[in-house]
Amino acid sequence: MAAGFAVILLLFLAYIGLNIWPIVIAGAAIGLLAVAVKFRGGANGKELFRSGAAASRSADHSSKYSFEGIGGQDRAKNELIEALDFLIKPEQIAKFGIRPIKGILLTGPPGTGKTLMAKAAANYSDAVFIGVSGSEFVEMYVGVGAGRIRSLFKEARQSAQKQKKSNAIIFIDEIDAIGGKREGGQQREYDQTLNQLLTEMDGLYEQESPRILIMAATNRKEMLDPALLRPGRFDRHIQVDMPDKKGRKQILELHAANKPLAEDVDMDKVAEETFNFSGAQLESVLNEAAIYAMREQREWIEARHLSYAIDKVMMGEKTDRETNEEERKRVALHELGHAIVAESLRPQSVSQVSLSPRGQALGYVRHQPQHDRYLYTLPYLEEQIMISLGGAVAEEMFYGHRSTGSQGDFDQALQIVETMVNSGLTNLGIVKIKHVSLEALSKEMNEILDQLITRTRELLEAHRSTFTSSLDILIQDETLSGEQFRCLLCDSKQLPA
């Protein structure tokens, strides 16, 4: 009726002699805009959740994952399983009057397996799994993000009912994209999206069946709005940390199950050499090792392939940079300086010395920590600074000056000094670095670095003959293993055998 009336009105205006084209063009523009908004936002969120089939495929995909297939993270898995038991055992929680958990927040560095744990949670609880990214809700059109949140919850309920399941898990990855702290003043679009999420989690439209559990992941928990973190919203906050040595070995063994490994491969050693690697990086190590073996047309993945892979994941692929003889000698002395200081202060810690350019580095020393460490004392941090300064000091010993190759080493040393200041391990006392004047901070840093440079120079001067015995071999072979390097130190009678 409205369309017919509009047509008749336009014909009447044209009949009496008015120019109707501006009205027609304006109406067409408004109609196109309305269609575009509907298409992008979708009253039912069709572009995100294409009816129940999308949720069905997500659920089928999540069934491939289980907690047994996730290496390490035993504490996080146990805590998550305990939270899921509240979901799958409603009779017991009703008996004790326990309020059902509405949300679980997984926090931790990238690549530690937060998404895998969410999929394993859906499999463990026999729930429909719908996974989305927080960035998918960020739109410039008013109300679109909030509408998608409503559609997400509606889709979860409908999919669970269709598949005759009593539970549904909605997983929002990178939730900080929509769950950031709200500021006063002008209302922003993603504030409305967050408000809608809070409303849904409050259970204003809660149904007893199916039960919906919200899981989310972020590596920036401090950026989230306090309203999300309070009890009744995300009740459980589970930290998913970098795996320890035992966890790294488990992850390596899981990813090595379908790969042909040679007898010389020692997973304990690989786990030691991959300190502070995430699960994603460990998977990449085995994948790259398999690629190296395939390139060489080998039947087995050998230990050297894993060593190459660790270097690639840590520092990048080898580059084609060609350096002249003088630069190669300078780089060799620089890396030997790092290695000699490291092996002198921490015996058995040097795993490899190499002149092969990787990433932005013309050479490198791969260190092998004796054990995982999470607390650092003042002597340990001072030793770490001396190892970082060893390359620059070695250049000064043989050339009388430094090069730009020490820039990364100095950045690392300054970061350690900042850690010492924030930890109250300097003469400044217990302070926050942002409250210290620039002049006082620079003075303290210079004093610390000058003292440690002097100690590093004294140590390297005592090992000058080691540079002479190792330099030609390193330049010729380009790589020294930790065992070879220690033999050269012993031959120079600088370290006890």
Contact 128, 136 (CB under 8 A): no
How high is the pLDDT of residue 171? 92
How high is the pLDDT of residue 443? 93
- Separation between Cα atoms, residue 73 and residue 241, nearest integer Å: 7
User: Cα dist. 137→142, 189, 196, 266, 364 in Å?
Assistant: 11, 10, 11, 46, 43
Let me know if 273 is a catalytic residue.
no
How high is the pLDDT of residue 210? 81
Give the list of residues 6+ apart from residue 249 with CB closer than 8 angstroms, or none: 71, 267, 268, 270, 271
How high is the pLDDT of residue 301? 94
pLDDT tens per residue across span 340-349: 999 999 988 8
Provide the mean pLDDT of the chain.
82
Of 3.40.50.2300, 3.40.190.10, 3.40.50.300, 3.40.50.1980, the CATH number of 51-239 is: 3.40.50.300
Q: Is it the case that residue 362 has pLDDT exceeding 90?
A: no
Whether the link from the prior residue into 243 is cis, omega within 30° of 0, is no
- Separation between Cα atoms, residue 236 and residue 103, nearest integer Å: 7
Q: Is it the case that residue 48 has pLDDT exceeding 60?
A: no
Of the listed 136, 272, 335, 343, which one is catalytic?
335
- Topology of the domain covering 245-315: Helicase, Ruva Protein; domain 3 (1.10.8)
- Annotated domain spans of the chain: 2-41, 51-239, 245-315, 325-491
Q: What is the DSSP string of 300-322?
A: SB-HHHHHHHHHHHHH-SB----
pLDDT tens per residue across span 441-466: 999 999 999 999 999 999 999 888 88
Among 198-212, 237-251, 352-366, the least confident range: 198-212
Kindly indicate whether the domain formed by 325-491 is annotated with CATH number 3.40.50.150: no
| Stated pTM of the model | 0.71
